[in-house]
Amino acid sequence: MISLTSYAFVAMMLFSIGAIGVIARRNIFVIYMSIEMMLNGINLFLVTFARYHFNMDPQVITIMVIAIAAAEAAIFLSVIILLYRSRKSLDTDIFNTLKQGEKS
Amino acid sequence: MNTNLLVWIILAPLLGAILNAGFYFYHIKKEKVSELTFSLIGTGTPLISFLITLTLFLRMNEEGIIFKQELFTWLDIDKLHIGMSLLGDNLSIFMSMFVTFVGWLIHIYAIGYMRGDNGFGKFFAYFNLFLASMLILVLADNPIILFIGWEGVGVCSYLLIKFYYGKAENVIAANKAFIVNRVGDFGFILGIVTLFFALGEVDLSFSSIEANIGNASSELLVLSGVLLFIGAMGKSAQIPLYVWLPDAMAGPTPISALIHAATMVTAGVYMVARFHFLYSGIEEIGLLIAYIGAFSALLAAIIATRQTDIKKILAYSTMSQLGYMFIAVGLGFYSTGLFHVFTHAFFKAMLFMGAGGVILAVHHRQNIFDIAKHRAITPIIKFTFLIGVIAISGVPFFSGFFSKDAILAAAFQEGEYLIWAMAIFTAFLTAFYMFRLYFIVFVAPTKHEVKYEYTSRTITIPLLLLAVGAVAAGYLNLPTILGGEHLVDTWLIQLKSNTIHMSHLTEWILMILSVVVAGSGIFVAYKKYANFDIYHPEEETGLIGNKFYIDDIYNTLFVQSTKKVSTFIDKVIDEKIIDGFIMSSSNTFVNIGKKVSMTQNANVRFYAAFMLVGMTCIFIYLYITLGL
């Protein structure tokens, strides 16, 4: 029997790796994937605790998250395509037109 | 029904000023307007004023009424009610009679004097405005309206003194006149405020002030009397605020005639007479006024003996004569003082206009020795100038004699022998310096003499009219011993002036003494200057020639010290301390802002990290507080 702690640990690892990916990487695709990873980390938490408490509500939320993530993927990918068309690049640091002070 | 005419005395010249200003703008912007238009407007409107005043005077003489006109309510705040109201009583009609008449003659004279000048229209606009301001001052029914006229003449004198503003010294002279007058005006307005509170905040018209003066505390009345007199010192050029008057000679000569004869400088004397009910209650202040007048008269006469500028000599003589007037009003002889104002208006206007004619004839030279070197033969001017000189010197049977002698007798009767001695010494000096001026300019032998062909009637006719006035004006107030009826004193009975009542013997002795004094002054001047070698002129040197260094003392004491203080405040207090404080605090905020703005760097990953940190903090907080 794999303990609850192990599940929680894996979920936390997933979330943390995702968070670090969002912060540290510059490629917009990798950031997108990191966000998905964070979502899945959360999903794993929810499912784990659903099993532990014999409560179905978290399962419902998880299904919701997956569905919304799919919809979000459609929008996100199209936005990335538009961004690429305008700047010919996927580097997030280039998209800084909202910067305070001098124009880039 | 005629009461409504009162306002037109003021409105006529005011309208003239507006019309002339309008035409002048048209003249410089669009097409030329002839000098005739300006002259007709400029001289016609004072004439209208004069005729209206004359009508009112005749009506008043017949029916013995006082004209009052309230045009509108100007201010109505709590207990302070100030109406734009005019008062035509014996005093103000008396004043405006000769103000409009002499003013009108000076306007006519100015046509000839200013002919061909670029600013002809502007000059007449200012001139009419000046007269209108003076008439507001004279006809005002309360001190606030009087103050409007008071300031109006100040502004107009400033505008006219710097009429030729191209020269820096004219502008400096105008500024000096204006600033010195401001000092006096400050005293004047404080005096009005003090009076308002002293009387228990009543309606401020002259009649209600007079009615309530008994309720006021004497300390406050003394204070307001002194403050009001400070205003008079500034306007009427008395010690210590006289320094602007000689410098005011920078303007064209008709202005000097108008300022010195009919308007502006007489305002102070008029004001004291207008507040006669105040000043007769505080006799110690009256004495102070008389002493200041006596010292001013003496000082000006001494300075005038060494001056070489024809207009400055006349300016100092004005100051000296004003001193006489203040002796009279200070001692309570209001009608005597105003009588001297009246006679002085004629002969001083004539002297200035004569001087202006001479200056024109010798191509704008003003040094009396230079004038003599280039003497032009101008018989009418010479004749009228001589009458003016005789009148001011106090030769019997000319107007100045009667008015001045009355003042001397008044000082003697009141037992103020020091004032009397100063006044009689001043009379000697007056005769001396006026005849010095006359002998050098018109008599002293010169190698160069030309016939002067410029005989503008607009110059000579007013001169001749004024000459008649300068001789005849004195007979209006003949002393009783010469069979006179004191017409002016009777007319101004409302002022409750002191009257001269001494034994006829004393009066004769005093009169003969003043004739002897004047005669000796003339004799000394004749001995010294009738055959003066004008090619070795006197210089303005020594203590007297340098005007007792009073201008220099004022310059060091007030102007330079103010400049130093201003520089200190500007360079140290403002730039270093205040700017330093303000700028350092603003710089601090700017720097903090710059630091904070670094977080808004549009870096998505940075925002994400920031968000993560924030959320972590919130969770830690919740974990601790909820104790999960």
Q: Following DSSP, what letter does each residue of B381-392 receive, concatenated?
A: HHHHHHHHHHHH
Residue tagged 């007709």 (tokens): B40
Whether residue B175 is contained in a domain is answered as no
Q: Same domain for B401 and B515?
A: yes
B residues 191-220 near A, CB within 8 Å? none
Q: CA nearest A16 in B: which residue?
A: B612
Q: Residue B628's pLDDT is what?
A: 64
Number of structural domains in chain B: 2
Which residues in B430-458 are b (16+ Cβ under 10 Å) and which e? bbbbbbbbbbbbbbbeeeeeeebeeeeeb
Q: How far apart (Å, rounded) are the C-alpha atoms in residues B414 and B614?
A: 97
Q: Do A93 and B603 touch (CB under 8 A)?
A: yes
Last-in-domain residue among B507, B527, B545: B545
Q: How far apart (Å, rounded) are the C-alpha atoms in residues A79 and A81?
A: 5
Give the tokens for residue A40: 């899945």
Whether residue B316 is contained in a domain is answered as yes
Q: Residue B1's pLDDT is what?
A: 46
- Pairing mode of beta strands B449-451, B375-377: parallel
What is residue B260's DSSP assignment? I
Strand-pair partners of B75: B82
Which residue among B597, B608, B612 places its CB closest to the CB of A100?
A: B597
Prior bond of B240 cis (ω within 30°)? yes
Residue contacts between A and B (CB atoms, under 8 Å): 35
B residues 583-622 near A, CB within 8 Å? 597-598, 600-605, 608-609, 612
Q: Which of B529, B521, B481, B528 is nearest to B501 (CA)?
A: B481
Q: What ipTM, to 2 d.p.?
A: 0.81
Q: Within 13 Å and on the Cβ side, how many CA atoms surround B202?
A: 17
Q: How far apart (Å, rounded) are the C-alpha atoms in residues B456 and B465?
A: 15
- φ, ψ dihedrals at A39, nearest 5°: -60, -40
Q: Same domain for B429 and B525?
A: yes
Q: Residue B454's pLDDT is what?
A: 65
Strand-pair partners of B570: none
Q: Residue A104's pLDDT is what?
A: 42
Q: For residue A49, what are the domain limits?
A: 4-92
Burial class (CB in 10 A: 0-12, 13-18, 19+), A50: middle
- φ, ψ dihedrals at B143, nearest 5°: -60, -25
Whether residue A103 is contained in a domain is answered as no
Q: CA nearest B600 in A: which residue?
A: A100
Angle between helices B310-330 and B399-413 (to 10 degrees): 40
Q: How confident is the model at residue A62 (pLDDT cuts 50, 70, 90)?
A: very high
Whether residue A55 is contained in a domain is answered as yes
Q: Same domain for B504 and B443?
A: yes
What is the distance, to the nearest Å, from the Cα of residue B433 to the centroid of all Cα atoms in its chain? 23
Whether residue A65 is contained in a domain is answered as yes
Q: How far apart (Å, rounded) are the C-alpha atoms in residues B235 and B183?
A: 10
Which residues in A6-38 are b (16+ Cβ under 10 Å) and which e? ebeeebeebbeebbebbbeeeebeebbebbbbb
Q: Residue A103's pLDDT is what?
A: 47
Which residue among A24, A31, A96 places its CB closest to the CB of B602?
A: A96
Number of structural domains in chain A: 1
Mutate to test the interface with A, among B598, B600, B603, B615 (most CBs of A within 10 A): B603
A101 touches chain B (CB under 8 A): yes
* CA distances from residue B462 to B9, B46, B383, B507 in whole angstroms, order as listed: 21, 14, 13, 35
Q: Same domain for B537 and B609?
A: no
Q: Residue B455's pLDDT is what?
A: 63
Q: How confident is the model at residue A72 (pLDDT cuts 50, 70, 90)?
A: very high
Which residue among A23, A24, A98 places its CB closest to the CB of B602?
A: A98
Q: Do B605 and A100 touch (CB under 8 A)?
A: no
Q: Can you give the CATH number for the domain in which A47 is found?
A: 1.10.287.3510
Question: Contacts of residue B604 in chain A, CB cutoff 8 Å?
Answer: 31, 92, 95
Q: Same domain for B607 and B516?
A: no
Whether residue B613 is contained in a domain is answered as yes
Q: How far apart (Å, rounded) are the C-alpha atoms in residues B187 and B179?
A: 13
Q: Same domain for B490 and B398?
A: yes
B77 touches chain A (CB under 8 A): no
Q: How far apart (Å, rounded) are the C-alpha atoms in residues B39 and B19?
A: 11
- B396 Cβ partners below 8 Å, 6+ apart? B515
Q: Same domain for B360 and B496?
A: yes
Burial class (CB in 10 A: 0-12, 13-18, 19+), B383: middle
Q: Which of B113, B454, B437 is nearest to B252 (CA)?
A: B113
Q: Do B608 and A92 touch (CB under 8 A)?
A: no
What percent of chain A is predicted at pLDDT more than 90? 61
Question: Contacts of residue B603 in chain A, CB cutoff 8 Å?
Answer: 92-93, 96
A23 touches chain B (CB under 8 A): yes
Is the separation of the CB atoms in B529 and B444 below 8 Å? yes
- B510 Cβ partners below 8 Å, 6+ apart? B405, B408, B409, B412
Which residue among B598, B600, B605 places its CB closest to the CB of A23?
A: B605
Q: How far apart (Å, rounded) are the C-alpha atoms in residues B177 and B169?
A: 12
Q: How far apart (Å, rounded) are the C-alpha atoms in residues B529 and B581?
A: 68
Q: Same domain for B618 and B489?
A: no
Q: Residue A100's pLDDT is what?
A: 62
Is the separation of the CB atoms in B145 and B114 below 8 Å? no
Q: CA nearest A93 in B: which residue?
A: B603
Q: Do A23 and B612 touch (CB under 8 A)?
A: yes
Which residue among A25, A26, A99 places its CB closest to the CB of B601?
A: A99
- φ, ψ dihedrals at B451, nearest 5°: -80, 135
Question: Contacts of residue B597 in chain A, CB cutoff 8 Å?
Answer: 100-101
Q: What is the pLDDT of residues A75-97, one digit of tens each?
A: 999 999 998 898 888 888 887 77
Q: Same domain for B604 and B532?
A: no
Whether residue A64 is contained in a domain is answered as yes
Whether residue B215 is contained in a domain is answered as no
Q: Same domain for B612 and B473?
A: no
Q: For residue B622, what are the domain limits?
A: 598-628
Q: Do A92 and B605 touch (CB under 8 A)?
A: yes
Q: How far apart (Å, rounded) are the C-alpha atoms in residues B290 and B295?
A: 9
Sign of torsion, CA B540 B544 B547 B553? positive
Q: How far apart (Å, rounded) are the C-alpha atoms in residues B489 and B339?
A: 8
Whether residue B305 is contained in a domain is answered as yes
- φ, ψ dihedrals at B454, nearest 5°: -80, 100
Last-in-domain residue among B511, B545, B579: B545
What is residue B140's DSSP assignment? B
What is the distance, to the nearest Å, from the Cα of residue A95 to the centroid of all Cα atoms in its chain? 20
Mutate to test the interface with A, among B596, B601, B610 (most CBs of A within 10 A): B601
Q: Please state the pTM of the whole predicted model.
A: 0.79
A98 touches chain B (CB under 8 A): yes
Name residues of chain B where pLDDT drops below 70: 1-3, 201, 453-455, 480-485, 628
Last-in-domain residue among B521, B545, B569: B545
Q: Same domain for B610 and B538?
A: no
Q: Which of B513, B107, B549, B124 is nearest to B299 (CA)?
A: B549
Q: Same domain for B509 and B625?
A: no
CA angle B468, B473, B476 (to 5 degrees): 140
